[in-house]
Amino acid sequence: MARLCFAVILLAAIVLQALIYPQLLTIRVFPNLVLVLLLCWSALRGLGEGAIWAVGTGLLFDAIALDPLGTNGLAFLAVVLLGMWAGRRFFQASIFMPIPIAIVATIVYAVIVLIIRAGNGSGIPISALGPLLLLQALLNSLSVLLVYPVTRQLNKWVTSPR
């Protein structure tokens, strides 16, 4: 049941990220909730489950956002790898590691997506996106404070014995 709840939350974040944010908001910098959800879930559940969610989410995100197939899936796999590393305990404070790793994950995600899009001739130079990317990375790290407790509770539901 918890994985189904996570799937619904993730689907809502994909629709929000790919369809609603670009049309609704006049500001072009907003947190990537899909990235933060995958980062937090893989920090709690590990690489195997995170990779499965990353591939499925990436394919759906590519289809909705009309990106070349596999672009976001590959970038989300890199996020999951960083999320797995964020799941390691650091002085028993599990929320503090995903916050700075969200900054790194945002930059890695953006670089991978920009490299793949540049191969199609539709890329934008990273120098033009530098300040916006840094702002989005900060928004993503703040979003971890909201998303991590939710994913931690869902993880407890998955791992609790019945």
- Cα–Cα distance measured from residue 154 to residue 24, given in angstroms and rounded to the nearest whole number: 29
Q: Which residue has the higher pLDDT, 46 or 35?
A: 35
CATH class of 2-159: mainly alpha
How confident is the model over 19-42, as pLDDT tens digits? Answer: 887 777 666 788 899 999 999 999
Question: Hey, where are the domains in the chain?
Answer: 2-159
pLDDT band at 53 (very low <50, low <70, confident <90, very high): very high
How confident is the model over 93-147, as pLDDT tens digits? Answer: 567 788 889 999 999 999 898 888 777 666 566 666 777 888 889 999 999 999 9
